Amino acid sequence: MDGLYHPALTAYLEGLVERPHPLLAAMEQRAAETNFPIVGPVVGQLFYWLTRLTGARRVFELGSGYGYSTAWFALAVRDNGGGVVHHTVWDADLSRQAQEYLAQMGLSDLMTYHVGEAVETLQRVGGEYDLIFCDIDKAGYPASLPVVKRHLRVGGLALYDNMLWSGRVWDTQDTSEATEAIRTLTQQMTHDPDLQTVLFPMRDGVLAGIKVRPSGTIP
């Protein structure tokens, strides 16, 4: 993401963020010290705002790390009156760490945790959701969209992270699998009649699609 935004702009935007819990800042510091990828405070605040705006009370995360983005969703669900947030990650230790962070925030009663491949987990758990956030391996983005759509209610919101891919999406010389997958998903969502889609050019880019009509049955 280096070079996508002027450093002064990034610092200015991050300075405007009001974190609803002080532990978020500690999680950000950990990410900075260990180079662990998180969405960061500006996108975290966007996720909180979108969750509140849509009144979401059932959220499913596909790829959740140690729970930073999960915390923003869960805080918003709490403020929407309560509900459930699904945290899904391959690594059992990351799941344990997320459980510890979210317990310290007093959010445990909202949480359901899964360890496994995220899209398969969504299919197995089933149900219909107000918001689904996807941050899995980028090569898996295109194949995930039909599953996400099936489990999203009409009026619900699909969110995908890293859609600017540090500028590689507009580098015509980059034909790597991950970059091509991000390009493919972008075209899928922006041309899908079931979705109304917008790309937020914040941090590494967030693609958001509102489901505007039914697109299949829910198992």
- Among left, alpha and beta (phi > 0; psi -120 to 50; other), residue 5 is beta
Q: What value does the mean pLDDT take over residues 109-136?
A: 97
CA atoms of 97 and 95, how far apart (whole Å): 5
CA atoms of 177 and 157, how far apart (whole Å): 26
Which residues make beta-bridge pairs with 62?
Answer: 134
Q: What is the pLDDT of residues 69-92, one digit of tens each?
A: 999 999 999 999 999 999 999 999
Residues 6+ apart with CB under 8 A from 60: 85, 86, 88, 122, 125, 129, 131, 132, 133, 151
Q: What pLDDT is stored for residue 81 in this prediction? A: 98
CA atoms of 94 and 96, how far apart (whole Å): 5
CA atoms of 50 and 43, how far apart (whole Å): 10
Topology of domain 7-211 in CATH is: Rossmann fold (3.40.50)
Report pTM.
Answer: 0.95
CA atoms of 194 and 175, how far apart (whole Å): 28
- Among left, alpha and beta (phi > 0; psi -120 to 50; other), residue 216 is left
| Domain-wise residue ranges, the chain | 7-211
- Label residue 216 by pLDDT band (50, 70, 90): low
Q: What is the pLDDT of residues 150-180, one digit of tens each?
A: 999 999 999 999 999 999 999 999 999 999 9
Burial class (CB in 10 A: 0-12, 13-18, 19+), 192: middle
Whether the CB-CB separation of 105 and 79 falls below 8 Å is answered with: no
